[in-house]
Amino acid sequence: MPTPESAKIWCVLHLNNLNLLRANFVTYSFKRHMHDYFVIGMIEDGVQKFDYQREHYVTLPTGLIVINPGEPHTGEAAIESGFRYRAFYPQAETMQEIAAEVKGRPQNIPFFSEPVIQDPALFREIRDLHIALESDTSTLEHESRYLRALAQLVIRHADVPAKTIKRERREITRIRTYIDENFSDDIKLADLANLVHWNPFYLLRVFRAELGLPPHAYLETVRIREAQRLLKSGLPIAETAYAVGFSSQSHFTTTFKRLISVTPGQYAKQVNFLKDNISGHDLP
């Protein structure tokens, strides 16, 4: 019998609230979305496919995946039996600090131009790190292995010098800032168009061209990012849904699962923010 679909998320507080995921995905797929942190994933078994930077990628077993912050991407099984997957999500500032440690001087946030990396030795080191972070070993071991593994990733595969992030149009930056600051409101396309004195159709075309997402999808990523923060703090699911701007808890749950891979209830239980231990359970 094929392995049932499952997902587990947990948090390691002493590594800057690092979130981790271990999953077996068969029919589940991530809708196009983006994060303000890195995604470092590992395919343990099976085959995964994803779209990223207008390209289509397939990742085989022992393949590493690195998604830069702010880059829209998808993710799903490429074969009927699915794939086994591990991932962690370091903050951009954490990766920047590690790059500075490696170089001995201040650095930009590292940039990885190749999202799929074939490096068997590094894959084993990062997978061993992920397994260690799921076990109740010492803080010193966690910190030491984490710094070592991510430093090797930066040394061996980050662009040197780091790629300069493309400059957005001033109007797009203004629209993003408005969405970031007003995500809980019922934002209308006309509001955004009036903000920058563009017609709505032109705004949609330019926004998607520069960010890879339409405005409503960007709004969803902002809302779910804030929802993760509120759920970690202990806010009930229903209150979280309305606090971030969803009109119903069912819509919130559907959107959250499509972007994060577990429901808000499972996320709140699995990411044990207060005890920093190993907790969580598989999806039904």
Q: pLDDT tens for residues 145-160?
A: 999 999 999 999 998 6
Q: At what angle do helices 170-181 and 200-211 cross, to 10 degrees?
A: 90
Specify whether the CB–CB gap between 127 and 44 falls below 8 A.
Answer: yes
Q: For 54-74, what is the mean pLDDT?
A: 95
Query: How does pLDDT run across 182-220, given as a tens digit for each residue?
Result: 999 999 999 999 999 999 999 999 999 998 899 999 999
Question: Given a cut of 80, is residue 165 above it in pLDDT?
Answer: no
What local confidence, expressed as pLDDT, does residue 83 receive?
A: 96
Mean of the per-residue pLDDT values of the chain: 89
280 falls in which pLDDT band (50, 70, 90)?
A: very low
pLDDT tens string 216-242: 999 999 999 999 999 998 999 999 999
Decide if 165 contacts 112 (C-beta within 8 A).
no
Read off the pLDDT band of 138 (50, 70, 90).
Answer: confident
Q: For 234, left (φ over 0), alpha (ψ -120 to 50), or beta?
A: left
Residue 204 exposed, middle or buried by CB count within 10 Å (0-12, 13-18, 19+): middle
- E-strand ranges in 171-275 read none
Distances (CA, A) of 46 to 62, 79, 81, 86, 124: 10, 7, 7, 12, 17
Q: Is the pLDDT of residue 102 over 90?
A: no
The Cβ of residue 48 has, within 10 Å, a number of other Cβ atoms equal to 24
Domain boundaries, the chain: 6-157, 170-270
Give the residue from 10, 28, 26 showing the smallest Cα distance to 18.
Answer: 10
What would the two tokens of residue 150 be? 């991510």
Residues 255-277 pLDDT 10s: 999 999 999 999 998 885 434 44
Topology (CATH) of 6-157: Jelly Rolls (2.60.120)
Domain 170-270 adopts which CATH fold? Arc Repressor Mutant, subunit A (1.10.10)
pTM above 0.75, yes or no: yes
Give 29's Cβ-side CA count (13 Å radius): 13
- Cα–Cα dist 182/197, whole Å: 19
